[in-house]
Amino acid sequence: MIGLIIYNLLMPLGFIFFLPELILKYRSRGGWKSTYRERFGFFGSRKEELSGFRDAVWIHAVSVGETVVAISMIRRYLQRFPEQKFIISTTTTTGQDVARNRCPENTAVIFCPLDFPWMVRRVFRLLRPAGLVIFETEIWPNLISVASAKKIPVLLVNARMSDHSAKGYRRLGKLFFSPLLRKFSLILTQSESDMQRFLSVSPRANVQVTGNMKFDQRIPALPDENILHGYLGNAPENIILFGASTHPGEEELITDEFIALKKEFPALKLVIVPRHAERGDDIAGLLAGKDVEFARRSDAGLPEKEMDILLADTTGEMLQLMNGADVVIMGKSFAGHDEGHNLIEPALLSKPIVTGTVLRNFRYILKVLEENKAVFCCSDAELQPTLRRLISSAELRREFGDRASAAINIHRGATDRTIDALQTCCKNGIAG
């Protein structure tokens, strides 16, 4: 495969180019770091532990969102096949932390090695997995190629591909991506549109539609106590806006709309949860410049008095924090962002959802909610009047929250279909 040869020649240069970003993320992000050497294929004293997981199914997820879905799949898998063993790998320290805190028994957690051939081969020699399952969009050429060469079934599950990505992949289709996608034993997509995009890149790839496993998510048991009350007070008239997984530009937009609306609704409160907690200092500086009173979740202890705004610059607490809110504004969809974030979690919590008009990475979920009149889509300019409607009506908030929950529940079942396909591939030894 000429494309793979070129990729491996360029890989060292790419690594040098991205090394500063890798170091910055390692230093600035929280999460689990003590076994980070595994990213370079070094497992040290863990080799004996991991040797007990040979013939396990290796599942790779990138960060927190994919890891949560992967863990849900593992739990369901173990309900059906209790004897199965799993290895789950992540790329980010935050994803690693979630995996280590939430994974069930029969599961080992590792960092995924960088995609250098010698690192990948070293890990395969150690793990000797029965199958490799990759979540969503993580198409690492050497990881896939080494598994395929060893006749290990390789599945891409919950797969999605945007129009933008499909165009880019097609430019290198015949040389690189088309033969690479054929190495997958099976590609299981979230929607028919995703399947067609994969086939447009690699017409002979083995692609099927199984649905989106995120619809199968179950909300874990959450504490009855609303932890937001310790920061924002618990007056019954309070209405809490929740900016979820925000990106640069969105914090300022949401804060400005909050300040304007608070003049009409004095009991209004705001929670901002940035997608990347390491941006906490930058956002705190922004809020200080707006002359508003705010607390930071990363600070020790609770504030001495009630605040108007909470900056939740921590990781792994999204659901618990969101559960105490009244209206959820989903990030990466305003202020010039259009990729979007997962709308399923607020829907499962029966929260009314406000998002931008374009979600390139979550179009099918948005479509499902729109068809059921269960989401508010608006532009930056429309955000304030949209929020005003929801703040003004408890009945409207309850109605749209209930609709969102019902719309998600209709689309369950993708996890079992994925497990069935994985069982078949591993049982029959179907390799790419």
pTM score: 0.77
Report the run of H or E that residue 188 belongs to, with start and end. Answer: strand 186-189
**CATH number for the domain harbouring residue 376:** 3.40.50.2000
pLDDT at 107: 95
Residue 328: phi and psi, rounded to 5, are -110, 125
Q: What Å distances lie between residue 66 and 46, 51, 72, CA to CA?
A: 24, 25, 10
Do residues 127 and 87 make contact, with C-beta atoms less than 8 angstroms apart?
yes
pLDDT at 240: 98
* Whether residue 187 sits in one domain with residue 302: no
Do residues 88 and 77 make contact, with C-beta atoms less than 8 angstroms apart?
no
Residue 59: phi and psi, rounded to 5, are -115, 125
Closest CA to 64 of 40, 32, 87: 32
State the DSSP string of 221-269. P--SS-TTHHHH---TT-EEEEEEEE-TTHHHHHHHHHHHHHTT-TTEE
Do residues 192 and 223 make contact, with C-beta atoms less than 8 angstroms apart?
no
Report which residue type is found at 208.
Answer: Q
Q: Which DSSP state fits 318?
A: H
**CATH number for the domain harbouring residue 154:** 3.40.50.11720
Report the run of H or E that residue 111 belongs to, with start and end. Answer: strand 107-111
* Whether residue 418 sits in one domain with residue 388: no
Measured CA to CA, the distance from residue 63 to residue 95 in angstroms comes to: 4
Q: What share of the chain is helix, strand, coil (3-state, %, to 5)?
A: 50, 15, 35
Measured CA to CA, the distance from residue 266 to residue 246 in angstroms comes to: 24
* Whether residue 237 sits in one domain with residue 161: no
Measured CA to CA, the distance from residue 188 to residue 183 in angstroms comes to: 14
pLDDT at 29: 80
Measured CA to CA, the distance from residue 125 to residue 142 in angstroms comes to: 14
Tokens for 60, please give them.
Answer: 């790779």
In a domain, 17, yes or no: no
Q: How many helices (H) and strands (E) does the chain have?
A: 18, 14
Chain-centre distance for alpha carbon 16: 27
Measured CA to CA, the distance from residue 369 to residue 361 in angstroms comes to: 15
* Whether residue 199 sits in one domain with residue 114: yes
Question: Can you give the residue range of the structural domain that contains 258?
Answer: 229-409
* Whether residue 163 sits in one domain with residue 144: yes
**Residue corresponding to tokens 């081969």:** 121
Do residues 399 and 350 make contact, with C-beta atoms less than 8 angstroms apart?
no
In a domain, 255, yes or no: yes
In a domain, 150, yes or no: yes
pLDDT at 432: 57
Closest CA to 38 of 105, 115, 104, 123: 123
pLDDT at 431: 60
* Whether residue 235 sits in one domain with residue 370: yes
* Whether residue 191 sits in one domain with residue 68: yes
pLDDT at 308: 97
Instruction: Compute the half-sphere exposure of residue 300: CA atoms within 13 Å on the CB side of its CA.
Output: 0
Measured CA to CA, the distance from residue 120 to residue 105 in angstroms comes to: 25
Report the run of H or E that residue 272 belongs to, with start and end. Answer: strand 268-274
* Whether residue 283 sits in one domain with residue 175: no
- The strand ranges marked E within 297-378 are 309-311, 327-330, 353-355, 376-377
Report which residue type is found at 163.
Answer: D
* Whether residue 424 sits in one domain with residue 397: no
Report which residue type is found at 141.
Answer: P
Task: Give the chain's domain count.
Answer: 2
**Residue corresponding to tokens 């997608």:** 275
Measured CA to CA, the distance from residue 405 to residue 411 in angstroms comes to: 11
Do residues 373 and 367 make contact, with C-beta atoms less than 8 angstroms apart?
no
* Whether residue 423 sits in one domain with residue 405: no
Ordered per-residue pLDDT tens for the chain, 432 residues: 688 888 889 888 888 888 888 888 888 788 888 899 999 999 988 999 998 999 999 999 988 888 989 999 999 999 999 999 999 999 989 899 999 999 988 899 999 999 999 999 999 999 999 999 999 888 899 999 999 999 999 999 999 998 888 998 898 777 889 999 999 999 999 999 999 999 999 999 999 999 999 899 888 788 888 999 999 999 999 999 999 999 999 999 999 999 999 999 999 999 999 999 999 999 999 999 998 999 999 998 899 999 999 999 998 899 999 999 999 999 999 999 999 998 999 999 999 999 999 998 888 899 999 999 999 999 999 999 999 999 999 999 999 999 999 999 998 999 999 999 999 887 776 665
In a domain, 294, yes or no: yes
Residue 190: phi and psi, rounded to 5, are -75, -30
β-bridge mates for residue 295, sequence order: 310
In a domain, 21, yes or no: no
pLDDT at 429: 63
Residue 172: is it exposed, middle or buried by C-beta count within 10 angstroms (0-12/13-18/19+)? Answer: middle
* Whether residue 191 sits in one domain with residue 46: yes
Do residues 273 and 242 make contact, with C-beta atoms less than 8 angstroms apart?
yes
* Whether residue 305 sits in one domain with residue 207: no
